[in-house]
Structure formats: structure tokens, C-alpha cells
Chains A and B, each alone.
Chain A
Amino acid sequence: MAAINKNAIQQIVTIVSNKRVGAYHQILLNVGDIVKNCRPGNFVAINVGGENSRMILRRAFAISRVSENSQYGGTMELIVAPHGSGSKWLCAQAEGTEIDIVAPLGTAFGIPTEPINALLIGGGYGSAPLFGLADVLKNRGCKVDMLLGASIGLKIYAPMEGKRSVNSLKIYTEDGSMGEHGRVTENLLEIVRDRNIDVIYSCGPMAMLSAITALVADTDVIHQCAVEESMACGIGICMTCVLPVRNEDGSTSMLRTCIDGPVMDGATVRWDLVGKVPEVAP
């Protein structure tokens, strides 16, 4: 009925597994029919802390992948870094725990109708939604290459089964403890040229997304990035998660990354204005 949050529902779901993978937790939720409306790029907002928690806001997590035919029915996988008090609580929950979710939320990565050459770039746990995306792209006949980066090897998330949909995978760490020494942006333009990349799909820290946008600015490459801005509600009512985005007429709007994102066209984001106020409104 509504145009915003069109497929979102609030539901109590069960944690079917919770495993530590490197620096992260891989959490599997039995979410039933919700999976039917989940697309790569969408996110889930989870109530944390239990009934009498002093944490009153939901936490948003990218949906890593969904499966319709698992032994539990529809399942949703999340890759969570136990970083703040909310994510630490979630990572500490045992199998069988019931949690309150709202999903699916936000925009999804645009999937081409033609088989194209796609480059997927993930920073830290930002790689999580890219493996589900790789499956979808491969099923469309796309060639999928992937670059993953993190500060240290422990923070690279690259599951064995995920690699099956990827033509090539290159890993960078800033300390050199895994893969190549450096950042994912190191040889980006050469890779884009050598592999005839049409579209870059990225997810990770804002500085990485901004750097990728700048590098491909003079090319024909489309850059779809999943941004991360702190949110209170995840459903478009609090207006806290805004990013300055250039409109077609050249003016700038502060768009909500929860409903107009998280997937945005990197070229339209005014990265230079993030954390600032744009010029006076039109």
C-alpha cells in the first residue's frame, strides 16, 4: 500500500545459528517468507538489548544473503562485527533466541538485464552483502571479479562457498598480513581497464566509497555503493542518516540513506559535503 518501506514487516524471528568467523559473527535467522522480498543491498533493523534495555534504537545490518530452501525454511544471514554495545549484544545471543526484526529495508543493488563485467569491492565486513550479490549477478551471466580489503587479515570476510560465484578474488590488507599489502583502490583503474569493467558494486567505509567514486569519475564505469550513515529508525522517519546527493538540476538534497539508500549512485553523492551543510536550498 505504501510506496516507502513497501515490503517491510516487523516480525519476531529465531536465531538458528551464531558462529564466529574471524573478527565477525555469522548469524543465521529463520525469517520465513520475508526472504522472498530481500534483494542484495537491503538491510534489516534489529531490536537489541532485550526488553528492559537502555538501548532504545534498532541496529541496522546489511543482509548478507538469504536462502529460500534451507532446512529451516527462509533464512537470512548476517555478518556482524561485535563493535558497539548493540552488535556485541547480538553476537552474544545463543541459537534459539527470538529477536525482533524489521525487514527488508532500503534500496537494493541494481541488477543488469545484460551480462556485464562487474567488479565487487568490499571493505571489512562490507564484503558480506557482496557474496549474495555475486550469486545473483553470476546467474544473470555476468562476469564477477572481487576485491576485498581490510586493515588486518582477521577482518577479511571471504567464505569458501562465497568464492564459487566469483571469477577472481583479490585481497588487500593494510598491514600485509593477508593478500597484497595496501588498499583496494591501489590498482583499481588498471583492473577496471584490463577487465573491461562496466559496473562497480561496493560496500564498506565511506572513505573507500568516496575514493572509488573519485577514481572512476572520468570513466564510463557505473559505481553503485552501499553507504553507511548512523541511523536511529531505519524507516525514514528520524531524518538522521542523511547524505548530500546531487539532483539532476545540479542542486543538492539531503537524502535519507535508509530509504533512498543504502545503495546509491556514487557519482551523485556529494562526498565533499558529507558532514557539512550544502549551499542554501533551492
Chain B
Amino acid sequence: MNLPVDMSTTLGSAWFPTPIFTASGCASSGKELAQFFPLNHIGAVVTKSVMSKPRHGRPTPRMAETPSGMLNSIGLQGPGIDSFLAHDVPWLLNQKSRVIVSIAGETVEEYSTLARKLRSVSGISAVEVNISCPNVENRGLVFACDPDASRRVIDGVRKTIGGEIPIIAKLSPDVTDLPSIARGVVDAGADCLALINTVLGMVINIDSMKPHLGGKTGGLSGPAIKPIAVRAIYQVHAALPKVPILGMGGVASGRDALELILAGASGVSVGTASFGNPNAIIQIQNELRELLAARGFATLQQAIGFAHREEMP
């Protein structure tokens, strides 16, 4: 018999009973998945990145299935921060769900404004700063690919909300030197890192002989990108072993979640897997608990970054 595993984890000052979370943009604001499992049974709901104003997002088609993955091009459709804070957050807190709010902006200023608005609502566990969404109108606006812009966004958010709730900077894998970008945002005040956002891709429709997605490019997610996530988490954890990582990218089973944890993730978000299986998050959480127990881990904490042990003195 295996002893029960202590699954609790922390991201900065925020504590969670389990390390399995929804992924931003893959659970809306929780209401849709609540039919399938109680939202307070998982670590936290990470809400879809919200911007200052309501947004229609991009034209359809917004989706293309790819081998073991999918491309999406939603363009941050959403209700805007005011409606979100008035309706979605209170509903989630009422479900006793822990909430990580993801914010996205088009300017450094917009991020600060969003963070300021979060201060008016109590009960939010952490803020995820989505600086790497490749789906905004202009490829030039991907802050996460520009070390200086990344730092400025996080610095602005830190000045507004720093010290009150943990700041999680969500990074893009579409960069040459991820550890240096990570170090930059940590120096600017990020308490944690979220790795990885989707990988920019494209599908061409061979009937129309044009890009299939309305937005032309899209973010690749699903099992196809899991090795990229494992690599990114491993590299960043090696460079910054004290900075907690919320890992995500193609996790579809407990084994996948364990891989990310061994690479250095303190928590794991499940995204695209929920599209194919609304109960995926709960199943992954149960599988992870069994896998940890089978490997003799009494606590999740012992497994975080365990794949690095040979390099450690």
C-alpha cells in the first residue's frame, strides 16, 4: 500500500492543495467545466486572459487540428476586465475555487491598469501576466519575444500589485534564449514563471491554397508541443532553481504532468486536453498522485526538479 501523497504546492506566497490547474484560455472562466467536476477539487482555475475592453477576437476559422495537436487563433475574445471582475471572479470564488487571473494588454500601460483593477477584488490567488500570446493583431506586439519589453511590463505590474499577490510571467517558447528572458522578468519582479505558451504555427488549406486560419497564424498546443515544454522548464529551472514554475504544454496524462514536475514545474496546467476530454484535469490529477506514490515520493515537493539531481552538488 502506498501512503497518501501530500500534493500541495506553492507559487510564490500562494498555496494550493494540488498542483493541477486549468490552463489560461482553455477553461474560459470555469462555468463550462463545472458540470463535469467541482472546480475546488483542482489546484486553481487559471482564467482566460482578459484585456481592458471587451474584444471580439479574430475571424473564423479559428481552429485547425494538426497531428497530435491543434492550432488556435482566437485573438483574446473576452468580456473586458470590468465585466470579468464583476461577474466571473465572484462566481468562481463562490464555488470555493482558487483563482489565478490571467491578464493581457497591448501596451505596458494596459497591463498596469489591469493589475490595478485586480487590487479591488479580494480572494484572487495570483495574477498571470500573459506577455506571450502570439494571437494579438500584430506579431510585433508579442512582448515575450523582446527582453526589454517583457521587463517593462512586469515592472509596471510589480509597481501596482507587487507584494500583494504573486506575479506569474507567462513566457513564449518562440525565443532564442529563454533563460535570459526568464531572468529578465524575474529581476523586474516576477515571483513565478509560466512555461510555455503556444508555439506559433500555420496550416495551409490545400483546397483554397491559402492559410487556413482567419488570423493566418495560430498557436500550436497539445501533445505535439510537450517535449518543447519539458525542455523549456528544464532549462529555466536549471538557470533559476529558486523560481517556481507553472508548467504547461501538451499535458494529457499523469505521466505527462510528472515529466513537467521532474523537469522543474511546481504546478502543471492542463489546457488542450480538456477540449478532448472534459474530465481530463481530474483524471490527470489522480494519475499523478498514483505515479508519485509508486515512485516513493511522500510529497509533491520532493519530485519538483528531481530530473536535475545529477547536476546538483
Contact = CB atoms under 8 A, between A and B. Distances in A.
A55 B65 contact: yes
B104 interface: no
Contacts of A236: 28, 31-32
B35 A6 contact: yes
Given A6-B35, A54-B68, A57-B65, A239 B275 contact: no
Interface string B204-243: 0000000000100000001100000000000000000000
User: Which of A2, A100, A239 has its CB near the most chain B CB atoms (within 10 A)?
Assistant: A239
A257 to B, nearest CB: 10
B188 interface: no
Given A56-B273, A58-B276, A239-B48, 19 more contacts: A2-B35, A4-B32, A5-B35, A6-B35, A56-B252, A56-B275, A229-B60, A230-B61, A232-B70, A236-B28, A239-B77, A240-B72, A241-B63, A242-B60, A242-B77, A243-B60, A254-B56, A274-B60, A275-B214
A188 B279 CA distance: 45
Interface string B271-310: 0111111110000000000000000000000000000000
Interface in A1-53: 1-6, 8, 10, 47
Given A239-B77, A281-B54, A232 B275 contact: yes
Interface string B57-85: 11111110101111010100100100000
Interface in A224-282: 229-233, 235-244, 252-254, 259, 274-278, 280-282
A236 B33 CA distance: 9
User: Which of B34, B63, B274 has its CB near the most chain A CB atoms (within 10 A)?
Assistant: B63
Interface of B: 25-28, 31-36, 48, 53-63, 65, 67-70, 72, 74, 77, 80, 214, 222-223, 252, 272-279
A2 B63 contact: no
A197 interface: no
Interface residues of A, number: 43
Nearest to A47: B276
B74 A239 contact: yes
Contacts of B60: 229-230, 240-243, 274-275
A76 interface: no
A238 B275 contact: yes
Chain B contact residues, majority secondary structure? loop
Contacts of B34: 1-2, 4
A230 B61 CA distance: 7
A277 B56 contact: yes
A10 B278 contact: yes
A237 B32 contact: yes
Given A54-B67, A230-B63, A239-B62, A281 B279 contact: no
A8 B35 contact: yes
Contacts of B26: 237-238
A121 interface: no
Contacts of A57: 65, 70, 275-276
A16 B54 CA distance: 47
Nearest 8 pairs of A and B residues by beta carbon: A240-B63, A233-B275, A236-B32, A281-B54, A2-B35, A2-B34, A240-B62, A5-B35
